């Protein structure tokens, strides 16, 4: 790469710089983020290419554009950094990144075999394999309809799944619209907000989502589910679906899918498993038991862009009966899905809502064939091992850290306890003033961490009191990184409380 | 790149090959596609890495993976080839491709400022600029809510727009669900099927979409719209929205937005402009008149991945009143949109349906700053100039080709006429048997073209008779390419009819 050599095309300069970043991502004491307030960021870019778009945009010289690219890299969040423990994705798999690149280079739409011959077959093969991994009975004939589709994210997949559920309940919803029944669905109060967002968009309304109590770990209380379904029926409402969560956002808890499936079968309800986060546990022989019963679900969403490190977006919606897709989504546009076209029976476009659709499958196919099943299992086992290590650090901290929520998967929810409050049995034991202090600590500590760019981890209120959430996603996280993050929290905590 | 040098990481090998493709895309007499039937494609890959995923996937050697990458490139559709005139996207802008790569390398989600500080500001700036280009009154304060959001495709944007429209009509739809009114919306019969797909998903039902007659060019008959609205009201239905199409899929026709806006104002209807395809005409001083009145719309969807050559996906939904977004989509998840987080007021996640969201803005920002407004205008003018050239070829063909639909924008809908049917005044003039012959010709000619990989263009029935649709999207298409495609059709047509 050369910034001064005018003969190097700008495309190559940008690509080379991006590749350099992928091959040698920030690590160790490199900043996780060079965080700046919005106004400061705008000012920094003004020296290269202004972020704001002028009323008349003039072409920027290549050198200015490359300076802007450097600023983009410098000030963006380094999700590949092993101390980015902030979200339920991190550490993009480099093979996935360049697989994504290859797909973008070939820029096409996944809607038809004609426009995407290779990608259609790859997508079908992946959906069938994912379906088999989930335990669905899959027709492996190459020409058989695959048991699902790729979606632009887990929320969209949830939306489609709930429409499929509604469609089974009321087959003419597609043509004539929602009927008079007051449909309701159930999800635990630790489940993802995609359920309520979907209910709003589907016209059911957020009130149609009945939040079922979860136990302290975040798993659904299935007795409460039974009671909620019966209570709803008694009120004249019409239950139609249950969402079981496999890997909740905050505590990575798993609902007992078999128990939920029993209740769904007893009441004739559609069972959707939200495995956006935790579905990938299926790759690990030692972790897949957490999803026992998923093969009984009617639909199952599984984000490969979370635990597996595929780039945004790689979200598979699996369905037990692939023949339900077309009746729910097809329109048969005659300019696109012409019956007299070669191999039109392979077209996927009429089995989903989207028309043009980014190819999300190629990167997964390349990464999976590169790592093999064993490599995919390793990634999951490593994530859990790192979380186990974090739990060890907490246990051995002499009361400086306390685990706030029990858990044995990839999320660790904990608090840092100021010296004068140790030993702290539980957050509930605190009086109001100590609780208020504890509530303010995580945001204050995080602000320091973010300002210095030393690490990133999340926080959220549990029972009204902010607590940290450390998520081990990246295959590059090592015990050293975990140790370093706890040391940082300890230091920042001490500084914050001594102010 | 080296296939044999074991020291070169597979990520670099794939990236280098992808970059090679971007810098030197197929052109001229290179194949547009090396088309193979599904079974043949599967067999070809079996020699490298099988497309089908085994029950136990073993890691593939790097050399096999690179052979597979070559096969992916060889057998995929070359949408960057200047003779790919098949769809309303083509010729990805190389700067956009590598901008997409840079975003993928930094793999993050656009939902929060924390996780995407630079991209949040870039997205806001682009939405404000796009809003200004569309003529919306935009608050240019950096901290002001931007007038829209990026969506994973035009259909999704249409879905959101119709939900916004419904929400304005019935503000409690989000909480309590759809009310008893039988809501209906209007779109021309040449409009995109996203309208009916959205209506199904929203629970309105496809029947809630009233198809308004279009004139022979594909533009909405606005007198018919007026009559349809009044007729629906008389039947006790509740009109709530009209979709005006700016660039129809088949003929690239533009509805008269001002006339539609007058009708919407008279009846209090939400005006959504579907500019997925034709919105980019706004970039050209000589073409933007086609969207006169778009500034009167309530919402406007504009796919930059169509005419502008951004990679899939780059779809902007613009709204006249940005303050309508959050009430329609927010849930306020407390693990993500913490009020005590730094600069949380910049978070976009609660203004849209998606949670994690691929960054679709960076590539547009880089490409726009590289080309400038003038470069963007040139791309549009070139597309129309190439279509004009195609119309010239037809006019000068001595009756071998006839333009089936009048049009002056980027699509050319035409027929190839066998010698014994010339001169052909119109398709309507044909008797049934000649019409049947004409109907079979485009698929037959296309099969030859596809099999030889010489060019790609679409066909669809017009009035029940298949006709060709040539779409000029790519900035690399030259008059030579257009001429070559017509010569090919002539040759294939002659061969087909002589069989």
* Residues B17-47 pLDDT 10s: 999 999 999 999 999 999 999 999 999 999 9
Q: What is the CATH number of domain B107-358?
A: 3.40.640.10
User: Which of B21, B39, B77 is opposite residue A108, by nearest beta carbon?
Assistant: B77
The CA angle A482-A420-A433, to the nearest 5 degrees, is 105
pLDDT of B499 reads: 58
Nearest to A238 by CA among A298, A173, A185: A185
In this predicted structure, the answer to whether residue A3 has a pLDDT above a threshold of 50 is no
pLDDT of B114 reads: 93
Nearest to A328 by CA among A174, A199, A146, A147: A174
> Across the interface, do A86 and B21 touch by the CB < 8 Å criterion?
no
In this predicted structure, the answer to whether residue B4 has a pLDDT above a threshold of 70 is no
Dihedral sign of CA atoms A474, A480, A481, A482 in order: positive
What are B302-339's pLDDT values in tens digits?
999 999 999 999 999 999 999 999 999 988 777 777 77
Taking the CA atoms of chain A, what radius of gyration do you get in angstroms? 24
pLDDT of A55 reads: 96
Q: Regarding the domain delimited by A108-358, which CATH topology (the fold level of the hierarchy) does it fall under?
A: 3.40.640
Does residue B53 sit at the A interface (CB-CB below 8 Å)? yes
Does residue B286 sit at the A interface (CB-CB below 8 Å)? no
A residues 380..439 contacting B (CB < 8 A): none
User: Which of A104, A163, A176 is opposite residue B101, by nearest beta carbon?
Assistant: A104
pLDDT of A88 reads: 94
CATH architecture of A370-498: Alpha-Beta Complex (3.90)
Token pair for A302 = 């599984």
In this predicted structure, the answer to whether residue B3 has a pLDDT above a threshold of 70 is no
What are A9-18's pLDDT values in tens digits?
999 999 999 9
Choose the mutation target among B44, B189, B201 for the interface with A, i.e. most A CBs under 10 Å.
B201
Which residues of chain B does A154 touch, with a Cβ-Cβ cutoff of 8 Å? Answer: 355-356
**Percent of chain A at pLDDT exceeding 90:** 91
Q: Report phi then psi at A193, rounded to 5.
A: -70, -5
> Across the interface, do B104 and A106 touch by the CB < 8 Å criterion?
no
In this predicted structure, the answer to whether residue B13 has a pLDDT above a threshold of 70 is yes
User: Which of A49, A117, A204 is opposite residue B76, by nearest beta carbon?
Assistant: A117
Residues A358 and B312: beta-carbon distance below 8 Å: yes
Taking residue B480's Cβ as centre, other Cβ atoms within 10 Å add up to 12
In this predicted structure, the answer to whether residue A287 has a pLDDT above a threshold of 50 is yes
Nearest CA in chain B to A205: B177
- CA of B191 vs chain A CAs: smallest distance (Å): 11
Nearest CA in chain B to A74: B118
Taking residue B23's Cβ as centre, other Cβ atoms within 10 Å add up to 15
Query: Which sequence spans correspond to the domains of chain B?
Result: 107-358, 370-498
Looking at every residue in chain B, the average pLDDT score rounds to: 95
In this predicted structure, the answer to whether residue A413 has a pLDDT above a threshold of 80 is yes
pLDDT of B362 reads: 98
Token pair for A379 = 């990634």
Dist CA B352 CA B331 (whole Å): 10
Does residue A233 sit at the B interface (CB-CB below 8 Å)? no
User: Which of B75, B118, B355 is opposite residue A41, by nearest beta carbon?
Assistant: B118
User: Which of B37, B42, B69 is opposite residue A343, by nearest beta carbon?
Assistant: B37
Within chain B, how many helices (H) and strands (E) appear? 14, 12
Q: Which pLDDT band, with edges at 50, 70 and 90, does B260 fall under? A: very high
Residue ranges of E strands in B128-197: 148-151, 183-188
Residues B302 and B296: beta-carbon distance below 8 Å: no
Residue B159 CA: distances (Å) to CA of B188, B254, B316, B346? 17, 21, 13, 24
Read off the pLDDT of each residue in B63-69 and give the average, rounded to a whole number.
Answer: 98
> Across the interface, do B23 and A12 touch by the CB < 8 Å criterion?
yes
Dihedral sign of CA atoms A274, A278, A283, A285 in order: negative
Looking at every residue in chain A, the average pLDDT score rounds to: 95
Does residue A44 sit at the B interface (CB-CB below 8 Å)? no
pLDDT of A340 reads: 79
The CA angle A82-A87-A91, to the nearest 5 degrees, is 35
What are B263-277's pLDDT values in tens digits?
999 999 999 999 999
Taking the CA atoms of chain B, what radius of gyration do you get in angstroms? 24
What are A199-242's pLDDT values in tens digits?
999 999 999 999 999 999 999 999 999 999 999 999 999 999 99
Does residue A343 sit at the B interface (CB-CB below 8 Å)? yes
- CA of A420 vs chain B CAs: smallest distance (Å): 24
Three-class secondary structure of residue A145 per DSSP: coil
pTM of the entire structure?
Answer: 0.97
**Percent of chain A at pLDDT exceeding 70:** 99
Q: Which residues contact A12 (CB under 8 A, 6 or more apart)?
A: A1, B19, B23
Q: Which residues contact B316 (CB under 8 A, 6 or more apart)?
A: B126, B127, B130, B148, B149, B150, B151, B157, B301, B302, B303, B304
Which residues of chain B does A108 touch, with a Cβ-Cβ cutoff of 8 Å? Answer: 76-77, 79, 312
Largest CA distance in chain B: 77
Read off the pLDDT of each residue in A434-457 and give the average, rounded to a whole number.
Answer: 95
Q: Report phi then psi at A463, rounded to 5.
A: 55, 35
**A60 DSSP 8-state letter:** P
pLDDT of A471 reads: 96
What are B420-459's pLDDT values in tens digits?
999 998 888 899 999 999 999 999 999 999 999 999 999 9
> Across the interface, do B14 and A193 touch by the CB < 8 Å criterion?
no
> Across the interface, do A89 and B174 touch by the CB < 8 Å criterion?
no
B residues 133..172 contacting A (CB < 8 A): 140, 142-143, 152-156, 159, 163, 166, 172
Nearest to B466 by CA among B400, B414, B412, B426: B414
In this predicted structure, the answer to whether residue B392 has a pLDDT above a threshold of 70 is yes
pLDDT of B411 reads: 97
> Across the interface, do B65 and A369 touch by the CB < 8 Å criterion?
yes
- Output helix, strand, coil percentages for chain A, rounded to the nearest 5: 45, 15, 40
> Across the interface, do B53 and A200 touch by the CB < 8 Å criterion?
no
Nearest to B456 by CA among A112, A97, A176, A102: A112
Dist CA A492 CA A483 (whole Å): 14
Which residues of chain A does B166 touch, with a Cβ-Cβ cutoff of 8 Å? Answer: 203
Q: Report phi then psi at B238, rounded to 5.
A: -115, 95
- CA of A481 vs chain B CAs: smallest distance (Å): 20
Q: Which pLDDT band, with edges at 50, 70 and 90, does B2 fall under? A: very low
User: Which of B56, B142, B370 is opposite residue A39, by nearest beta carbon?
Assistant: B142
Nearest CA in chain A to B309: A107
**Percent of chain B at pLDDT exceeding 70:** 99
Dist CA A496 CA B493 (whole Å): 80
What are A31-54's pLDDT values in tens digits?
999 999 999 999 999 999 999 999
> Across the interface, do B42 and A142 touch by the CB < 8 Å criterion?
yes
> Across the interface, do A113 and B192 touch by the CB < 8 Å criterion?
no
* Number of Cα atoms under 13 Å in the Cβ half of residue A419: 7
> Across the interface, do B53 and A341 touch by the CB < 8 Å criterion?
no
Q: Are strands A270-274 and A299-303 parallel, antiparallel or unpaired?
A: parallel
**Percent of chain B at pLDDT exceeding 90:** 91
User: Which of B35, B52, B458 is opposite residue A125, by nearest beta carbon?
Assistant: B52
Nearest CA in chain B to A56: B373
Read off the pLDDT of each residue in A394-406 and give the average, rounded to a whole number.
Answer: 96
């Amino acid at each position: 790469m050369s910034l001064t050599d005018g003969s190097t095309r700008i495309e190559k300069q940008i690509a080379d710089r991006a590749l350099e970043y992928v091959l040698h991502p920030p690590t160790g004491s490199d900043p996780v983020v060079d965080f700046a307030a919005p106004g400061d960021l705008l000012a920094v870019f003004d020296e290269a290419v202004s972020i704001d778009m002028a009323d008349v945009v003039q072409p920027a010289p290549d050198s200015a554009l490359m300076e802007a690219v450097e600023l983009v890299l410098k000030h963006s969040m380094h999700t590949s950094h092993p101390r980015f423990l902030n979200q339920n994705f991190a550490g993009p798999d480099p093979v996935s990144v360049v697989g994504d690149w290859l797909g973008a280079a070939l820029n096409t739409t996944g809607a038809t075999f004609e426009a995407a011959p290779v990608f259609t077959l790859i997508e079908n093969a992946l959906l069938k394999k994912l379906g088999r991994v989930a335990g669905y009975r899959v027709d492996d004939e190459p020409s058989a309809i695959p048991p699902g589709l790729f979606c632009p994210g887990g929320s969209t997949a949830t939306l489609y799944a709930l429409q499929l559920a509604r469609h089974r309940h009321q087959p003419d919803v597609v043509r004539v619209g929602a009927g008079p029944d007051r449909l309701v669905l159930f999800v635990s109060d630790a489940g993802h907000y995609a359920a309520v967002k979907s209910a709003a968009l589907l016209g059911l309304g957020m009130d149609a989502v009945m939040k079922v109590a979860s136990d302290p770990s975040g798993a659904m209380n299935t007795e409460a589910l039974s009671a909620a379904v019966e209570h709803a029926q008694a009120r004249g409402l019409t239950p139609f679906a249950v969402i079981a969560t496999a890997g909740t956002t905050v505590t990575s808890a798993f609902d007992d899918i078999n128990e939920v499936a029993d209740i769904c079968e007893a009441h004739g309800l559609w069972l959707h498993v939200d495995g956006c986060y935790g579905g990938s546990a299926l790759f690990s022989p030692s972790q897949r038991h957490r999803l026992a019963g998923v093969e009984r679900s009617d639909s199952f969403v599984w984000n490969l862009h979370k635990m597996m490190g595929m780039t945004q977006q790689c979200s598979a919606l699996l369905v037990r009966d692939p023949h339900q897709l077309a009746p729910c989504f097809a329109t048969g546009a005659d300019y696109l899905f012409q019956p007299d076209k070669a191999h039109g029976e392979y077209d996927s476009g009429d089995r989903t809502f989207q028309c043009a659709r980014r190819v999300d499958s190629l990167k997964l196919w390349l990464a999976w064939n590169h790592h093999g099943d064993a490599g995919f299992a390793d990634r999951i086992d490593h994530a859990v091992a790192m979380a186990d290590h974090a739990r060890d650090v907490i246990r051995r901290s002499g009361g400086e850290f306390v685990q706030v929520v029990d858990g044995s998967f990839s999320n660790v929810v904990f608090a840092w306890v100021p010296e004068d409050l140790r030993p702290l049995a539980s957050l509930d034991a605190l009086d109001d003033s100590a609780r208020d202090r504890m509530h303010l600590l995580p945001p204050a500590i995080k602000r320091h961490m973010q300002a210095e760019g030393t690490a990133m981890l999340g926080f959220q209120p549990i029972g009204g009191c902010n607590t940290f959430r450390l998520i081990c996603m990246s295959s590059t996280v090592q015990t050293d990184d975990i140790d370093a993050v706890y040391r940082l929290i300890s230091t920042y905590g001490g500084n914050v409380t001594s102010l």
